Amino acid sequence: MIQFNYETDFNLENEEAMEAWISSCITKYDFTEGEINYIFCDDAYLLKLNVEFLEHDTFTDIISFDYTLGKLISGDIFISVERVRENAKKFSQPFENELNRVVIHGILHYCGFKDKSASDKEVMRAEEDNCLSLFKS
């Protein structure tokens, strides 16, 4: 089950389409959907989590807590809407495209994709693009 939670005044325009898309991406990688919570928040909210749990005193667009067991994907994915807006401007992307990229980025981590090394980042970006091509609003 995928749930969307809001700690800011932001709301997804079409939760049903987003949920269907995320589910299809999970299935594409031969995983099963467990309990996945998206929490949309602001920079201050996510910074607090970043400091408290990861000991990083920096802004970020996403933090995910992975509770996946085997092939059953579960977790909490926190997304800073403010940071996504800034990154969309920085990368000259529409906000919706950048948001979708971040939304699926957390799922790809749960599927085992990494992004620490340059080669891992390249694979992650290709998989993000692959999933983004499946989105139907």
Q: Which parts are annotated binding residues for Zn(2+)?
A: 105, 109, 115
State the DSSP string of 34-92.
EEEEEEEE-HHHHHHHHHHHH---S--SEEEEE--BTTEEEEEEEEEHHHHHHHHHHTT
Closest CA to 44 of 31, 32, 58, 54: 58
Q: Which 8-state DSSP code applies to residue 13?
A: S
Which residues sit in the known binding site?
A: 105, 109, 115
**What is the β-pairing status of strands 32-41 and 72-80?**
parallel
